[in-house]
Amino acid sequence: MGAKLTSIRGMEILDSRGNPTVRVFVELTDGTTAVASVPSGASTGENEALELRDGDAHRYAGKGVLKAVANVNEKIAPELVGMTVFQQALIDRKMISLDGTENKSNLGANAILGVSMAVARAAAVSAGIPLYEYLGGSGARRIPVPCMNILNGGEHADNSVDIQEFMAVPLGAPTFREGLRYVAETFHVLKGLLKGKGLATSVGDEGGFAPNVGSNEEAIEIIIQAIEKAGYKPGTDIAIALDSAATSFATDEKGAYNLKWSGAGPMKSDDLIALSERWVSKYPIVLWEDPLAEEDWEGFKNFTRRLGDKIEVVGDDLFVTNTKYIARGIQEGSANSSLIKLNQIGTVSETIEAVRMCRDAGWRYFISHRSGETSDTFLADFAVAMDGGHLKTGSASRSERIAKYNRLLEIEQDLKDSALYYWK
Ligand code: PGA
Ligand code: ZN
């Protein structure tokens, strides 16, 4: 039993890039109200669930989400009102079948996810427990290592760096609070180093710096300098994680790449893997996301064969948080971890299924925000609930990123001595 849904309403709000996104309000019979807002990606995978945009060139260059909002109000709400809020999986199932398509293109994954998240949050409020405990049970007490994206390139910045994200990973810290301090201090030191070299200290979409350094390697080297100058030992206190988002520098020919921004030029999959091996032996890299493009399953397999026992190999665009593709990846040995983004698949319960599949296969999973975000902190609770051990939610700047970090600080404080923090 428990409280039932009495009202579900959507509205159009703006995300951190100033583009429209969906916010959903729900109300329950016991008077509970809850709200959730949907994130939005830029370097999206081909097979992600569809984010429904209006396509009306007179509003937000076609990016309005009034159709998705109308779907929440007129199509989803009448079907769900009266349902018990604790039936998350059933509610999500109902929206999936109401949509009726494989990629949620009918109602829009933005409409469906907004409702799914707001329902989960309302259920937690109604139950009188924190969201991380509602979704993860009373054993949820591991705070994720914050993989902080301190330098941005690729499609998230206008500079000469091909790799999209360079993350600082405070794996040697004793607690989340300390880990966050390690990498926030490194971020500030990095700013000084960039300034000293006459490089830009403006930030990209996820709050990392986006300087015109000459090459990808130069970016890694300056981050290592920043780690040392901040008083930490690279590899021991703070390691490095990368997200190549390699689909963005793949050419039309399968298995072929062009690292054009850094001037490194055309490369085959094998050359890129050989280069990655050199970097992994030279630099303290512990995790590499999307080192190859989403259609290069063969390349992923080779990459994992050669580096999978040394580092976490994460598929983002390759798997799009979809159990269909993760299952293939497990079967073929394409990676040893999946990125997990709620809006790639479009419901909370399907995201949990993706996590479960990774866990059952002995894989890791890496919980992630999107480059377009809101101040919603759902992700922080979700990461603790899923016991993933690490997450990425941007840099030590931009409030939509900091909001998640601050929520994790709160959760760690709530858990007191029972909170856990460790890498692996
Ligand atoms: P996106 O980028 O949110 O723009 O897709 C994040 C990522 O590639 O991990
Ligand atoms: Zn990615």
Q: How far apart are the first and last CA of the chain?
A: 39
Angstrom distance (rounded) from CA 33 to CA 29: 10
Q: Give residue 50's identity as a one-letter amino acid code.
A: L
CA 266 to chain centre: 29
CB atoms within 10 A of CB 413: 11
132: DSSP letter = H
Tell me if 156 sits within 8 A of 209, measured CB to CB. no
The residue with tokens 């949907």 is 38
Q: Which atom of ligand 1 is found nearest the CA of 164?
A: 8
Angstrom distance (rounded) from CA 172 to CA 311: 16
Compute the CA torsion angle 368, 373, 374, 378 (nearest 10 deg). Answer: -10
Point out which residues pair with 14 in neighbouring strands.
20
For ligand 1, the distance from its centroid to the CA atom of residue 316, given in whole angstroms, is 8
Query: Which is catalytic among the residues 191, 341, 392, 404?
Result: 341
- In the structure, which protein residues have their CB atom closer than 6 angstroms to any atom of ligand 1? 41-44, 164, 243, 245, 316, 368, 370-371
Give, in order, the Cα–Cα distances in Å from 356 to each of 134, 330, 337: 17, 13, 12
Angstrom distance (rounded) from CA 353 to CA 172: 30
Angstrom distance (rounded) from CA 114 to CA 136: 20
Reading the block at residue 374, the tokens are: 């809101």
Angstrom distance (rounded) from CA 123 to CA 84: 9
Per the annotation, the verdict on 206 as an active-site residue is: yes
Per the annotation, the verdict on 221 as an active-site residue is: no
Given ligand 1 and candidates 288, 317, 368, 398, which is best to mutate, with the most ligand atoms within 8 Å of its CB? Answer: 368
pLDDT value of position 31: 98
To which H or E segment does residue 103 belong?
none
To which H or E segment does residue 228 belong?
helix 216-229
Query: Which is catalytic among the residues 27, 165, 206, 312?
Result: 206
Reading the block at residue 86, the tokens are: 């604790």
Locate the domains of the chain by residue range. 5-128, 145-418
Given ligand 1 and candidates 370, 374, 391, 393, which is best to mutate, with the most ligand atoms within 8 Å of its CB? Answer: 370
Given ligand 1 and candidates 16, 19, 164, 337, which is best to mutate, with the most ligand atoms within 8 Å of its CB? Answer: 164
Q: Write the class of the CATH domain 5-128.
A: alpha beta
How many contiguous H segments (helices) and E segments (strands) does the chain have? 14, 14
Tell me if 389 sits within 8 A of 424, measured CB to CB. yes
Contacts of 295 (CB under 8 A, 6+ apart): 46, 247, 250, 254
**Max CA-CA distance within the chain?**
63
CB atoms within 10 A of CB 101: 11
φ, ψ of residue 6 in degrees (nearest 5): -110, -25
For ligand 2, the distance from its centroid to the CA atom of residue 384, given in whole angstroms, is 20
Contacts of 170 (CB under 8 A, 6+ apart): 145, 146, 148, 178, 179, 180, 182, 183, 237, 238
pLDDT value of position 261: 77
Tell me if 313 sits within 8 A of 307, measured CB to CB. yes
* Alpha helices per DSSP H over 285-397: 297-307, 323-332, 342-345, 348-360, 378-386
Give, in order, the Cα–Cα distances in Å from 197 to each of 156, 189, 222, 320, 348: 22, 13, 10, 38, 45
Tell me if 52 sits within 8 A of 65, measured CB to CB. yes
pLDDT value of position 322: 98
Average pLDDT of adjacent 10-residue blocks, the chain of 424 residues:
95 98 98 98 95 98 98 98 98 98 98 99 98 97 98 84 96 98 98 97 93 92 98 98 96 92 87 96 98 97 98 98 98 98 98 98 98 98 97 98 98 98 94
Q: Write the class of the CATH domain 145-418.
A: alpha beta
